[in-house]
Chain A
Amino acid sequence: MTDSTLSQRSGNGIVIHGMPINQRIDWLFQHARRHSDEFQSSESWLARSRYLAEHPNSITTFKCMDGRVNIPVVTNTPPGIILPFRNLGGRFHLGWPHLGEVIAAHVLTVAGQGRRSLALITYHYSKGDPRRGCAGFNYDTDAARTHTFEIQRQMEAVFSTGHSTVYPLVCGFETDEDALVLHGSGGEVLDLSTLSSTNHDTLPALLARLYPDMPDQMRQEMLPLVRGNISHIAEIKQSNRELNVEHREWMICIGRGFDWLHMPNQALIIGPYSPRLADPIRKPPASSRPTCESDVSPMTDFCCSP
């Protein structure tokens, strides 16, 4: 899996943010090539093939464009397994025509292959400092969480509350320790940062308690995500990484297919989902708000004049 920290330096070790713009663009092209080369390697292909053979169901995530929220990395899942839907603040509405079409097409394709769909609907926050939370929701974690439950209701309205084929679940993401926080169907919450690898044997029972209406096979699919996150959290706790990172995004990305660019402090990524597509271009994005005195636009952070 790509190490985003290393890849944010050029070949001679210069931090990307300090380079002239043309060199940064050159680095971007090279980074894209490195990512696709790695993705196409035999090792990566075999890892994906093995994973899909063992866990055939589909996993999608709905999440904020914030580069810290990288579910494959924090669950130690091979690239290319989890299908992400990203937008500013993790804001979605299944009534948006394009988003609805994309999701429905995906679910129908997967169902036609005899597979189920697990959808992780995420919000994010920091337990150490609210200002490291989701600025797309004005650092209001309750509002962000409420929004994810609304998306869950919309998923159930479209794909049924029976949950035998599509299971949408709400999942918090605590960015200080990269911890998933699972919201059970009965309101119970499981913060994976409170578990350790010694709890692995108890995980099936914990998931059965959280999601009693989830098909057994789908719960089996969740186990590697949960175990992977517990291992990742342990690594993060030992790493003493810097949490108060200044935002230095230097590109605005619009569209889909930015998995290779999902890293902190490089890009503001806007999904093409909302029918009011200009709004997220004009409005402040979650990750640039902390450095932005005015609420005018993401552009204010780039702009020379306030």
Chain B
Amino acid sequence: MRVGRIPDDGFLLLALTPFRDIGVDRARAELKRGFLSRFAADVIGSEFPKLAEKMHVRTGIFAWHSRVVEMMIDPHPTHTS
């Protein structure tokens, strides 16, 4: 952004966690993706507050067997564009 190689309208923070089985394994993946996105967003927000204003946050879970990525907008309102 600073040197114009990409548009300066924002960047993406994407947290993704995999699961192999439905049920508990998938539920844990959902919890982990939420934790990771909030953790990273908080680090960026506290260390680089101006940059955090341009942050778009998405999270997802990843099914190993099908490689399907279920994307979702992070519910964490502070850092979601």
Contact = CB atoms under 8 A, between A and B. Distances in A.
Interface of A: 17-22, 24-25, 28-29, 32-33, 35-36, 39-40, 79-80, 246-248, 250-260, 267, 270, 272, 277-278, 281-282, 291, 297, 299-306
Interface residues of B, number: 39
A14 B75 CA distance: 31
Contacts of A304: 1-2, 8, 50-51
B69 A248 contact: no
B7 A260 contact: no
A35 B17 CA distance: 17
A248 B6 contact: yes
B5 A21 contact: no
Nearest to A246: B5
Given A250-B12, A254-B16, 16 more contacts: A20-B9, A21-B11, A25-B56, A32-B69, A246-B5, A251-B13, A253-B14, A253-B15, A253-B16, A254-B39, A255-B15, A256-B18, A257-B16, A260-B69, A291-B3, A297-B47
A21 B56 contact: yes
Given A19-B7, A21-B12, A259 B67 contact: yes
A277 B67 CA distance: 25
Nearest 8 A-B pairs (CB), nearest first? A257-B62, A251-B12, A21-B10, A257-B18, A39-B67, A32-B69, A36-B67, A255-B16
A272 B12 CA distance: 18
A283 B13 CA distance: 16
B6 A257 contact: no
Contacts of B56: 21-22, 25
Given A254-B40, A255-B33, A278-B43, A306 B2 contact: yes
A256 B69 CA distance: 11
A72 B67 CA distance: 16
A35 B67 contact: yes
Contacts of B18: 255-257
Contact of B5 (A17, A40, A251, A305): A17
B37 to A, nearest CB: 7
Contact of B17 (A19, A255, A270): A255
A19 B10 CA distance: 11
A258 B64 CA distance: 11
Contact of B50 (A24, A29, A291, A303): A303
B50 A254 contact: no
A281 B67 contact: no
5 contacts: A25-B58, A28-B12, A257-B17, A301-B2, A304-B8
A287 to B, nearest CB: 13
B81 to A, nearest CB: 8
Nearest to A281: B43
A248 B40 contact: no
Contact of B66 (A40, A253, A259): A40
A299 B2 contact: no
A256 B1 contact: no
B54 interface: yes
